[in-house]
Chains A and B, each alone.
Chain A
């Protein structure tokens, strides 16, 4: 039998999700627009004072990135659940956590990566420059995949539940808090001149932990949702 390897299956899952994202660009654009709008409105509301903007930059940009990720979480599994593709995925002869990693990676590429790429521009709006700008990008590069990983657990747990949007927010927000604190803390520390290395290391640890545990937890939640 022409049994695909784990990589073939993983590549197939990522390819399908990216192809679908290309076909539904408006869904992908929604979370990016949300981020840009929030980040652009804050300076207008707070005022143009550079010192104030620099002080709030890390918090505002990180909260906006977190909420943008939260907005897109329903995309991870809901459509697959409704059209029967998820059922098929559970019956693929490969470990489900590996396929979950593929789904989450595709979600990050379409929701987290645009945030990372846009962050230097948004950071400039808040008067960030030099090292602080670099730390912001790096913190989002480490933090947004963690948000996608943790978010996938919540998205899987609420599959098929009415009012799942609110429920998923309640479930994952407490788990997002450390990522938010370390991410914003990295930029703030850099601005204070003490360097963001410690917070970045903690973000890296969060990413490693979530990469290890989240796929298993998500796979278990998916199996329960389809029972």
Chain B
């Protein structure tokens, strides 16, 4: 279970949010909503440990993530605003290298399956990622979800640049993850089409 207690965050002179409390239980997804500049991405980065909060604490299974450090990182898959893929590598190379470093599934067959599952046709698997469209690049990044074996997913605007079909595929992958007892925190501007009892909402105001 992921818990955030009394989180507050200031960027520059501006306080983005204060006293934010979150509990994400296994099998549930927290959708973080709000206007541009309300601090959604900052909150996600704080939950990932990339950013330190001004105040408050984040607990994973009851332990502060500052103490857990790498042990906490081993539990999460983070896909941020940026895709985290290399333009000079092919989608297959990108996923294989990333998975070999993080410890996710990294066999060639599984990587190909992941790319197909996210709707990328086999003919683009071996093209340099730089020639793909923004939506295809986003799909390459999101294919990591099919290789992930981690319980906590932190996703920043995962549906950006995706068409309706790809949005459906990613939503279905999220549904399966929650069904298997996983947790997710998703920053989004759109409704996530999942069963209402599996989704909590947190709205931040600018």
What is the interface of chain A, defined by CB distance below 8 A to chain B? Answer: 1-4, 8-9, 11-13, 15-16, 19-20, 23-24, 79, 82-85, 87-95, 226-227
Q: Does B49 contact A (CB under 8 A)?
A: yes
Contact of A84 among B48, B81, B150 (CB under 8 A): B81
Between-chain CB contacts (< 8 Å), 17 pairs? A1-B149, A2-B103, A3-B74, A16-B86, A16-B97, A20-B89, A87-B50, A87-B80, A88-B98, A90-B50, A91-B78, A92-B73, A92-B101, A92-B102, A93-B70, A94-B70, A226-B50
Bound together, the chains give a CA A90 to CA B74 distance in angstroms of: 11
Interface residues of B, CB < 8 Å — how many? 33
Q: Roughly how many angstroms separate A85 CA and B82 CA in the complex, as a whole number? A: 8
* Contact between chains at A19 and B102 (CB < 8 Å): no
- Contact present for A2 and B105 (CB under 8 Å): yes
- Out of B78, B88, B89, B128, which one reaches A88, CB within 8 Å? B78
Q: What 5 pairs between A and B have smallest CB-CB spacing?
A: A84-B82, A93-B74, A12-B101, A84-B84, A4-B103
Min CB distance A20 to B, Å, is 6
CB <8 Å contact, B78 and A12: no
Inter-chain contact B52/A87, CB cutoff 8 Å:
no
Cβ–Cβ < 8 Å partners of B80 in chain A: 84, 87
Chain B residues with CB under 8 Å of chain A are 48-52, 70-71, 73-74, 76, 78, 80-89, 93, 97-98, 100-105, 128, 149-150
Interface residues of B: mostly helix, strand, loop or mixed? loop
Q: In the bound complex, how far is the Cα of B52 from the Cα of A159, in angstroms?
A: 19
Interface pair A2/B86, CB less than 8 Å apart: no
**Residue ID in chain A nearest B150 by CB atoms:** A1
State which of B50, B73, B76, B83 has its C-beta within 8 Å of the C-beta of A83: B83
- Closest B residue, CB atoms, query A5: B103
Q: Is the beta-carbon distance between B70 and A8 smaller than 8 angstroms?
A: no
Asked if B97 and A15 sit within 8 Å, CB to CB, the answer is yes
Contact (Cβ within 8 A) B103 A8:
yes
Name which residue of chain A comes closest to B104, CB basis: A2
**What residues on B are CB-neighbors of A13 within 8 Å?**
101
- Complex contacts, B70 vs chain A, CB 8 Å: 93-95
* Contact A83–B86 (Cβ < 8 Å): yes
What CA separation (Å) do A8 and B100 show in the bound complex?
7
Bound: A93/B74 CA distance, A: 5
Given contacts A1-B150, A4-B101, A93-B74, contact A19 B84 (CB under 8 A): no
For B76, the chain A residues whose CB sits under 8 A away are 91
Which residues of A lie under 8 Å from residue B87 when comparing CB positions?
83
CA distance A95 to B81 in the complex (A): 24
Q: Which residues of B contact A90 (CB under 8 A)?
A: 50
Which residues of chain B have C-beta atoms less than 8 A from A79's C-beta?
86
Bound-complex Cα distance A91 to B89 (A): 21
Chain B residue with the shortest CB-CB distance to A227: B51
B100 touches A12 (CB 8 A): yes
Do B84 and A93 have beta carbons less than 8 Å apart? no
Nearest residue in B to A15 (C-beta to C-beta)?
B97
Q: Which residues of B contact A84 (CB under 8 A)?
A: 80-85
Query: What is the bound-complex CA distance between A2 and B70, given in angstroms?
Result: 15
Could you say which residues of chain B place their CB within 8 Å of the CB of A2?
A: 103-105, 149
